[in-house]
Structure formats: structure tokens, C-alpha cells
């Protein structure tokens, strides 16, 4: 979402309040809104809100209402993009957020950080962080490659390790 012509963080703090992962109207800022009415709707990925002609991710608004900034990259700790409770949100860097992604739809194996060598048929477990390769090893069995990957990523990524790597 682009930031130009956006409403200010103070506008949200003045007009909305947070409760249990949801956002409600605090003050009537135009003739259409009703006080204490929940704002936003569920979408295929993130919950969203439309306020005065602008779209916002509800998780971003929850973050702002709890003292954060719209400029912060937010991660859903449990991986559920519909769970906007403040205790499930954390500020992350771009690279930390990329670590916690799910398997891409075009991934033929359905498993992150593992590929098949086209010449040997071996499984290759590998990962990069900060533009540098942090590990790479070949395996005959997919299960062994997954175990090696998980052990290394858990050590490298710590709390950002994604348990849903496939």
C-alpha cells in the first residue's frame, strides 16, 4: 500500500480503538460511521479496512493503535494473517519477514529451501541470508534434507523460524 495521501496515525488514534484483535469506531468522523461499530472485513489474505477512501491492513492499524507506526513491517507470529491480536504481531526487518513466509505455489516439491539436482537427482538443502549462502548440502532422502534444513534454520533464524516450511 502506498503512503502518499494517507490518513495520519493521529487520525486513527483519535477515531478508533482496539479490542481483542479488532478495531472499532471511537468517534464519529463522518456522517456514515457509527460509534462502537467494528471496522474492516476479512479478505483472502489480510483483514482490511477502508477509511475515507483509503485501504489499510487491519494489522497495521492495530499496531498504530498500540503505539506503533505505519512505516513498521509487521509479522504475524503464528503465521495466521487473520489473527490481528497485538500479542500476535511483532515488528520485523524485511529479511526477517521473508524468512517467515509460506511455501510458494510454484514450488514443485512443496518444501522451502530444498530442491532436486537435475543431474544427480539428489535433494539439495540450502539457504541464503543477507545475500550469502549459509548452508548447502546434498541428500539421497528428502526426510534427511528436511531434518538438516530445519536444524540449521532453527539455529540461524531463532524465533523467526517458520515451522510451516512444508
Q: Please enumerate, as own/partner, the contacts of 92-96 that have beta carbons within 8 Å and a separation of 24 or more.
A: 92/160, 95/129, 95/130, 96/160
Question: What pLDDT is stored for residue 20 in this prediction?
Answer: 92
N residues, the chain: 166
The domains located in the chain, with CATH, are 9-92 (3.90.75.20), 102-160 (1.20.5)
Give the DSSP letter string of 55-98: EEEHHHHHHHHTT--TTSEEEETTS-TT---GGGEEEE-HHHHH
pLDDT tier, 1 (very low <50, low <70, confident <90, very high otherwise) = very low
Q: Are 166 and 107 in contact (CB under 8 A)?
A: yes
User: Counting Cβ atoms within 10 Å, is residue 134 exposed (0-12), middle (13-18) or buried (19+)?
Assistant: middle
Question: What pLDDT is stored for residue 162 in this prediction?
Answer: 72
Q: Which three cell numbers stand for residue 156?
A: 540461524
- pLDDT tens digits, residue range 24-70? 999 999 888 899 999 988 776 789 999 999 999 999 999 999 999 99
Q: Are 112 and 124 in contact (CB under 8 A)?
A: no
pLDDT tier, 95 (very low <50, low <70, confident <90, very high otherwise) = confident
Other Cβ atoms closer than 10 A to 88: 17
pTM: 0.76
Amino acid at each position: 500500500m502506498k503512503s502518499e495521501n494517507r490518513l495520519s496515525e493521529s487520525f486513527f488514534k483519535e477515531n478508533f480503538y482496539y479490542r481483542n484483535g479488532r478495531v472499532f469506531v471511537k468517534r464519529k468522523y463522518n456522517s456514515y460511521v457509527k460509534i462502537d461499530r467494528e471496522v474492516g472485513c476479512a479478505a483472502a489474505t489480510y483483514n482490511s479496512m477502508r477509511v475515507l477512501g483509503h485501504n489499510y491492513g487491519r494489522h497495521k492499524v492495530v499496531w498504530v493503535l498500540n503505539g506503533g507506526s505505519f512505516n513498521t513491517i509487521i509479522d504475524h507470529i503464528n503465521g495466521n494473517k487473520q489473527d490481528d491480536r497485538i500479542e500476535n504481531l511483532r515488528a520485523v526487518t524485511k529479511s526477517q519477514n521473508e524468512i517467515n513466509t509460506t511455501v510458494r505455489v510454484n514450488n514443485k516439491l512443496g518444501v522451502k529451501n530444498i530442491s532436486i539436482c537435475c543431474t544427480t537427482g539428489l535433494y539439495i538443502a540450502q539457504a541464503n541470508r543477507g545475500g550469502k549462502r549459509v548452508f548447502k548440502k546434498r541428500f539421497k532422502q528428502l526426510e534427511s534434507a528436511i531434518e538438516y534444513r530445519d536444524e540449521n534454520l532453527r539455529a540461524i533464524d531463532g524465533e523467526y523460524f517458520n515451522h510451516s516450511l512444508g
